[in-house]
């Protein structure tokens, strides 16, 4: 199997020893079907009071685990290939999707510097990524994301709505019946 994806999955396993996956609550009070954790200087959190970036894990009260070098370097190299030459992420949101979970259409707009891209890395079983427009009701384009796929989301697309369709039953050698997604961000 691919060494890089094995390294990434091993690093996720280390991070989640310190900051376990949890199902966060949206401001509407609903539990998200994808479980989340973070690494890096900032982590994205959602609860009844809203979405924000925090230096500390609200579950443990500890700082988020540091961002592994293998994560940061992958994000920087991918951003550079897409024309973003000085992207140094300080936040990485890690999503874990069991079969049957999904992510509703949303915009990522909690970051103050919208000139910085978001780099997304998919691991494990495939997903259908839904790529929309600037309005929630705009038509979406389906893109299959497989283990090892990297998307650089920036420039004119930075505020486009997007989501993940319900994950179909599948098995991947490295992750069993799970998909992971890493999103690297410049949070502040």
Give residues in contact with ligand MD6 (CB under 6 A). 95, 103, 108, 118, 120, 129, 151, 153, 162, 164, 181, 183
Nearer CB in complex with ligand MD6: 4/62 = 4
CA distances from 9 to 58, 70, 89, 116 (A): 24, 11, 19, 25
**How far is C-alpha 171 from the geometric centre of its chain's CA atoms?**
20
Tokens, residue 145 = 């994301």
The site that binds Fe ion (CB under 5 A) totals a number of residues, namely 1
Nearer CB in complex with ligand MD6: 109/176 = 109
Phi, psi values for residue 112, rounded to 5°: -70, -30
Q: How far apart are CA 49 and CA 46, in angstroms?
A: 8
Nearer CB in complex with ligand MD6: 19/152 = 152
Nearer CB in complex with ligand MD6: 64/129 = 129
Binding partner of residue 178 among Fe ion, ligand MD6, none, CB cut-off 5 to 8 Å per kind: none
Question: What does the angle CA 14 – CA 32 – CA 101 come to, to the nearest 5 degrees?
Answer: 80
Binding partner of residue 95 among Fe ion, ligand MD6, none, CB cut-off 5 to 8 Å per kind: ligand MD6
Using CB under 5 A, which residues numbered 89 to 118 contact Fe ion?
Answer: 108
Q: With contact defined as beta carbons under 8 Å apart, do 25 and 46 qualify?
A: yes
Residues that bind Fe ion (CB under 5 A): 108
């Amino acid at each position: 199997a691919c060494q890089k994806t094995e390294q990434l999955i091993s690093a996720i396993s280390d991070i989640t020893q310190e900051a376990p996956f949890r199902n966060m609550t949206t401001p509407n009070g609903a539990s998200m079907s994808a479980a989340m954790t973070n690494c890096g200087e900032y982590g994205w959190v959602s609860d009844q009071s809203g979405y924000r970036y925090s230096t500390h894990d609200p579950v443990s009260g500890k700082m988020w685990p540091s961002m592994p070098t293998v994560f940061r370097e992958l994000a920087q190299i991918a951003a550079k290939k897409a024309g973003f030459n000085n992207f140094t992420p300080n936040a990485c949101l890690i999503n874990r999707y069991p079969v049957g979970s999904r992510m509703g259409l949303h915009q990522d707009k909690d970051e103050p510097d919208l000139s910085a891209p978001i780099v997304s890395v998919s691991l494990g079983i495939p997903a259908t990524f839904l790529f929309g427009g600037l309005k929630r009701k705009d038509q979406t384009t389906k893109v299959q994301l497989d283990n090892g796929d990297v998307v650089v989301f920036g420039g004119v697309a930075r505020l486009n709505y997007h989501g993940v369709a319900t994950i179909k039953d599948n098995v991947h050698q490295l992750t069993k019946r799970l998909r992971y997604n890493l999103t690297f961000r410049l949070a502040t």
